Structures are given as structure tokens and as C-alpha cells.
């Protein structure tokens, strides 16, 4: 697949832009804010990706549990290969569609993208994406593939994103002020934001096409991983069977837990994650992995501001979540 006619500079010059942090700008495309590094990949996915009915697509807004779900989905689908999680990073096992050598911009001088139909997983392909449903609707609705969407409460999501950005090398010299991160989040000016529109797009898909889209929250998973892992397996059409179903599920829950996953040498690595056009170290995807950590960072005033927005954006549409 070639798209040598794509001119990123030309594309960017036609889009509204706003400063995100440091020297990084975001560009508005289809109602969402994107990093320039992901625009070509996002366009290619929307244009070329034709999911197979057997495909599993993990969708998420950044920092809402992507890494965890990658590990869980990989283990559920490839049960006899789940030991690979001890030696490979979940992002290598379940690549982002718009990055890596799937539809991303290769970090080397080439416009040829690896054939996305090649067998990247063992039996069934699992991809992930941060693309909002609004930009993927045509693609997803053209197929019987299974979509899993994970979300997380807005305050922990925001805090996680802020920590993540402050781990970037450039932030060592000039850290990103928390108040600025809050302001950008509330205005929706974040990579793949607005968060609220992202979540509602996939929530509606889950309500409209429950056989094809499964919506789960980080907090539900934390609260009852055993039931939720069984539900995911049922949804994907590969329920746990045979002897000791509870034991099989328990094993997967444990091997994908924050504590176990983050203890593997491969996930402690300071190496830059291959295939992503940003200098992200592998270990930066693991920090605390908890619920409610926002309380250590947010004043009552900030909590009040985000909760008011959550009421307006979620509660008004009947989604009683996030407060
Ligand atoms: P991404 O969207 O950039 O891939 P993502 O994996 O969604 O990132 O988010 C990282 C968050 O998930 C981190 O949260 P924290 O900053 O609040 O700690 C990270 O610690 C957490 N995380 C990573 N792996 C797990 C896991 N196995 N269980 C629970 N949380 C996890």
C-alpha cells in the first residue's frame, strides 16, 4: 500500500491548530484534536482498513487502560501463548493501527506499509486504536468485527496523561503545569480529544450494536476483574470452558495485573517503544494503576470544575459516570 501523494505539511496547513504543551501543537480533524505524528496514520486507517469479521479492535482514549486491556485481550484470545506477556510488551503484541508498521508513518524513509493483513497474532488479529468512533464509523460498521472500548473516569485519566507527558525528556527542563493540563482537558484540546465526545461515541455504539461493541470501564475492571474477564471472553465468542473455569480466569487476571505486568524486565525498560513516532519509553506506560489518585493532585476547585463538565457532558445524556 502506498500513499506517496499524501503531503503532511499541506494537510496540516489546512487544519485549525492549537498549542498543547511545550512546542507541541495539535491539529483539529473531524472535530477531534490530533498530534501531527498521528494524522497520516489516522487518514490511512479510515481510508484503507477493512476489518475481518474475526478481528478484535481495542479502542480507547489515551491513558484509560489501553495497556491493561491489550494484555487481557491477548491472553483471552491466545490462551496458550499468554506466557509471551512475560517477555514482550503488550504494545508489541497488540499494535496500534495508526502507528507502528500497520498504518503508521514509519520512522524510516519508506512510504511502504507492511501488509496489515499479515498474521500478527496467532489465531485472530487484535489491533488497538485511539481513533474516535466518529472517525472510524464507516470502517467499523462495514464489518462484523468485535470492538472493545475501555474508558476511565475523567479525573484519573487527566492525571495519568499529565504524568505521562511530564516523563518526556523535554519536560525535565520545563514541566507541564498541572493547571494548564486541566484547562486543555476541559476544552477538549488533548490528543484524540475531546475526551467526552470520544467516550460517548463508543458508548452509543455499544448501546446500538451490543453484539459487536463491548464497553467497559477501568473502575469496573478493577472492582471485579474476574467477572469482567469472563464477560469479555463471552463477548469475543471464546468463553472459558472445561475444568476449573474460575482458576483459568484467575490466572489471566493475575498475569495481567498491574503488579505482575509491571514487574517484568521487558516492561521496566527505559528503551523507546518501537514503532511509535514519539520518544515514549516502555516503562512510562506503568505508573500506579489505581483508582482515585486524582485526589492527590486536584484542588476542590478543579474537582468542582471537572465534575460540572462531566454532569453536563455525560449525566445529561444518561451516562451516570465519572463522579
Ligand atoms: P496509553 O493509552 O498511552 O496506551 P494506558 O495504558 O491507557 O496508556 O494508560 C496508562 C495507565 O494505565 C497508567 O495509569 P496511571 O498513570 O494512573 O498509573 C498505568 O499505570 C495504567 N496501567 C498500566 N498497566 C496496567 C494494568 N495492568 N492494570 C491497571 N492499570 C494499568
pLDDT at 113: 40
The CATH class, in words, for 50-317 is alpha beta
* Whether residue 229 has pLDDT greater than 90: yes
Burial, 271: exposed, middle or buried (Cβ in 10 Å; 0-12, 13-18, 19+)? exposed
The enclosing H or E element of 139 equals: helix 133-141
* pLDDT in the model for residue 170: 84
Question: How far apart (Å, rounded) are the C-alpha atoms in residues 67 and 152?
Answer: 13
d(CA 51, CA 110): 24
Please say if the pLDDT value at position 277 is more than 50.
yes
Average pLDDT, stretch 168-182? 91
Task: Please tell me the pTM assigned to this model.
Answer: 0.94
Top mutation candidate among 89, 90, 160 for ligand 1, by most atoms within 8 Å of CB:
160
Confidence of residue 81 (pLDDT cuts 50, 70, 90): confident
117-143 pLDDT tens trace: 444 555 689 999 999 999 999 999 999
- How do residues 303-317 score in pLDDT, each as one tens digit? 999 999 999 999 999
Distances (CA, A) of 248 to 223, 229, 243: 19, 10, 9
285 lines ligand 1 (CB under 6 A): yes
Asked whether 62 lines ligand 1 (CB < 6 A), one says yes
Do β-strands 17-21 and 32-34 pair in parallel, antiparallel, or remain unpaired?
Answer: unpaired
130 is catalytic: yes
- What is the model's pLDDT at position 6? 74
Indicate if the pLDDT at residue 9 is higher than 70.
yes
What's the confidence (pLDDT) of residue 111?
A: 38
User: Strand 32-34 vs strand 24-29: parallel, antiparallel, or unpaired?
Assistant: antiparallel
Ordered by start, the domain boundaries in the chain are 50-317
144 backbone dihedrals φ, ψ, rounded to 5° = -95, 15
CB of 22 closer than 6 A to ligand 1?
Answer: no
Q: Whose CA is nearest to atom 8 of ligand 1?
A: 63
How many Cβ atoms are within 10 Å of 226's Cβ, its own excluded? Answer: 12
What percent of the chain has pLDDT above 90?
Answer: 78
d(CA 123, CA 31): 36
Atom of ligand 1 nearest to the CA of 160: 16
**Secondary structure of residue 12 in the 3-state scheme:** helix
In whole angstroms, give the CA distance from residue 17 to residue 15: 6
Amino acid at each position: 500500500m502506498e500513499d506517496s501523494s499524501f503531503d503532511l505539511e499541506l494537510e496540516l496547513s489546512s487544519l485549525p491548530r492549537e498549542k498543547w504543551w511545550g512546542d507541541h501543537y495539535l491539529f483539529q480533524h473531524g472535530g477531534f484534536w490530533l498530534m501531527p505524528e498521528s494524522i497520516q496514520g489516522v487518514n490511512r486507517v479510515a481510508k484503507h482498513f477493512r476489518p475481518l469479521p474475526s478481528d478484535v479492535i481495542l479502542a480507547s482514549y489515551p491513558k484509560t487502560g489501553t495497556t491493561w486491556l491489550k494484555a487481557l485481550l491477548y491472553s483471552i484470545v491466545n490462551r496458550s501463548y499468554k506466557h509471551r506477556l512475560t517477555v514482550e510488551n503488550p504494545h508489541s503484541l497488540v499494535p496500534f493501527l495508526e502507528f507502528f508498521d500497520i498504518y503508521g508513518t514509519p520512522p524510516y524513509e519508506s512510504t511502504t506499509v507492511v501488509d496489515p493483513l499479515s498474521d500478527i497474532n496467532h489465531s485472530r488479529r487484535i489491533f488497538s486504536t485511539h481513533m474516535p468512533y466518529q472517525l472510524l464509523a464507516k470502517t467499523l460498521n462495514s464489518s462484523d468485527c468485535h470492538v472493545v472500548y475501555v474508558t476511565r473516569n475523567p479525573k484519573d485519566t487527566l492525571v495519568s496523561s499529565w504524568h505521562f507527558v511530564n516523563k518526556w525528556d523535554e519536560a525535565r527542563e520545563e514541566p507541564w503545569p498541572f493547571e494548564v493540563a486541566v484547562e486543555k482537558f476541559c476544552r477538549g484540546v488533548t490528543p484524540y480529544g475531546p475526551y467526552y465526545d470520544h467516550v460517548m461515541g463508543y458508548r452509543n455504539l455499544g448501546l446500538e450494536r451490543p453484539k459487536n461493541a463491548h464497553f467497559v470501564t477501568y473502575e469496573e475492571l478493577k472492582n471485579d476483574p474476574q467477572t469482567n474477564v469472563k464477560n469479555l471472553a463471552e463477548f469475543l465468542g471464546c468463553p472459558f470452558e472445561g475444568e476449573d473455569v474460575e482458576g483459568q480466569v484467575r490466572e489471566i487476571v493475575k498475569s495481567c495485573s498491574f503488579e505482575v505486568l509491571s514487574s517484568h524486565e521487558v516492561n521496566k525498560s527505559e528503551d523507546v517503544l518501537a514503532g511509535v513516532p514519539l520518544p515514549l519509553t516502555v516503562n512510562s506506560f506503568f505508573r500506579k494503576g489505581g483508582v482515585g489518585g486524582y485526589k492527590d493532585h486536584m484542588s476542590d476547585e478543579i474537582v468542582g470544575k471537572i465534575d460540572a463538565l462531566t454532569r453536563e457532558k455525560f449525566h445529561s445524556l444518561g451516562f451516570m459516570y465519572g463522579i
